């Protein structure tokens, strides 16, 4: 699979200086963690789940979570498990895993991991791993132990994606200890932890809060402080950190807005003005702003609950030609000794040693999301990504 692989080759060629690279479920974890992009959640109760997975893959989705936890009621769990096993069999009957997204199951209890792997049988080859809810050291280790056991039993590499959403992580008096415990747990199973996901909705719930569509997670100071601390402890660029994904955007179109749109007109001048209007009508201007703030705060990818959110995440994940140029200059072998140089775009200073970690991360993102042509902005990438959606 590849990002923007649903576009015709001629369209991709016109958009990219370097096209997105191909990857699959067997690619290195370092690559897959960045390649997750917009991870689309779907309740495991859906009777058309197999058909939905293939449809979303044709629309550019490369990672999905099939949820047995908060998206369904307690009374639906047994039926959802049966449906999940049935839908995997239907997916397997459709041929190879080629073209399917990376598939993860969000479970409620550790025992579900071993039970589902057993029940999936040979169809487990379509599964990339499990999403682990409300993760702390005490609650998380049994999940990770179950994952290791299930993996040994089926002979297939399975990844974990812990969700950081517990009240202990939010509350100031327990946050430091909780973060330290999470760090110990995920470090013990480092080879199997693909990414850490932020459960911002649960954070807001602990205080009876809900951010409006005109606001980002970073406008809610309680939430912003947790994100900062999670990245501080678990997202370091010194080799000890993990990929931390951005919080969910939970809004669909609304009939009336209180605040002005957040999208400037200038990037959408001319024919793209209609696209700007559509984004505003669907409350996606707030999403675009939050994606940019995710990146600025050290997060990669995003949890998504609606297909319309996928294209904006992927469009803003593409490395711009300017970013690529800066990263390439910083990483040239002759720069190993450090120093300062003016960017090729002559608009900034590139300081080799301080900017090296940024440049390495940018190049990894370029491998999976590609590099835009010099005259291509996120507007063109977004318009192309929205085709057939």
Give the start-to-end residue ranges of the domains of the chain.
24-318
Binding-site residue set for Mg(2+): 202
Task: Return the bridge partners of 340, or none.
Answer: 351
pLDDT of residue 83: 97
Who's near 225: CB < 8 A, 6+ residues apart? Answer: none
CATH superfamily of 24-318: Phosphoenolpyruvate-binding domains (3.20.20.60)
Which stretches of the chain drop beneath a pLDDT of 70?
Answer: 96, 252-283, 388-389
pLDDT of residue 206: 87
> pLDDT by residue (tens digit) across 183-233?
999 999 999 999 999 998 888 888 898 888 888 999 999 999 999 999 999
pTM, two decimals, is 0.90
What is the residue-wise DSSP string for 305-367? Answer: SSGGGHHHHHHTTSBPHHHHHHHHHHT-GGGTT--EEE-TTSSSEEEHHHHHHHHHHHHHHHH
Helix ranges, the chain (H):
9-15, 29-35, 49-58, 77-93, 110-120, 137-154, 167-170, 172-188, 200-205, 221-234, 273-281, 284-296, 310-315, 321-330, 352-369, 378-385
Who's near 89: CB < 8 A, 6+ residues apart? Answer: 123
Binding-site residue set: 202
């Amino acid at each position: 699979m590849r990002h923007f692989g649903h576009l015709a080759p001629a369209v991709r060629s016109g958009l990219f200086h370097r096209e997105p690279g191909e990857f699959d479920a067997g690619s290195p974890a370092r690559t897959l963690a960045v390649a997750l992009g917009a991870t689309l959640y779907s309740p495991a109760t859906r009777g058309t789940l197999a058909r939905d997975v293939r449809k979303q893959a044709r629309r550019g989705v490369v990672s999905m979570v099939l949820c047995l936890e908060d998206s369904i009621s307690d009374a639906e769990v047994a039926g959802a498990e049966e449906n999940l096993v049935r839908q995997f069999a239907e997916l397997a009957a459709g041929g190879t895993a080629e073209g399917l997204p990376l598939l993860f199951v969000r479970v409620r209890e550790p025992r579900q991991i071993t039970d589902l792997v057993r029940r999936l049988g040979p169809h487990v080859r379509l599964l990339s791993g499990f999403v682990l809810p409300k993760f702390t050291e005490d609650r998380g280790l049994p999940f990770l132990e179950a994952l290791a056991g299930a993996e040994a039993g089926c002979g297939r590499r399975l990844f974990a994606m812990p969700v950081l959403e517990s009240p202990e992580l939010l509350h100031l008096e327990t946050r430091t200890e909780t973060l330290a415990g999470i760090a110990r747990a995920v470090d013990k199973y480092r080879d199997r932890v693909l990414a850490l996901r932020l459960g911002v909705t649960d954070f807001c719930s602990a205080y009876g809060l809900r951010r409006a569509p005109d606001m980002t997670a970073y406008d809610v100071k309680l939430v912003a402080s947790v994100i900062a601390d999670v990245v501080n402890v678990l997202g370091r660029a010194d080799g000890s950190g993990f990929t931390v994904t951005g919080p969910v955007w939970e809004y669909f179109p609304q009939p009336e807005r209180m605040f002005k749109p957040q999208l400037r007109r200038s990037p959408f001048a001319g024919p793209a003005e209609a696209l700007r209007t559509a984004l505003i009508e669907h409350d996606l201007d707030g999403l675009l702003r939050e994606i940019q703030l995710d990146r600025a705060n050290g997060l990669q990818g995003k949890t998504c609950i609606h297909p319309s959110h996928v294209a904006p995440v992927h469009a803003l994940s593409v490395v711009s030609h300017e970013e690529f140029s800066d990263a390439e200059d910083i990483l040239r072998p002759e720069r190993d000794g450090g120093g300062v140089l003016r960017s090729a775009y002559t608009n900034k200073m590139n300081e080799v040693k301080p900017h090296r970690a940024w440049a390495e991360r940018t190049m990894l993102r370029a491998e999976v999301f590609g590099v835009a042509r010099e005259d291509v902005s996120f507007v063109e990438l977004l318009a192309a990504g929205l085709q057939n959606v």
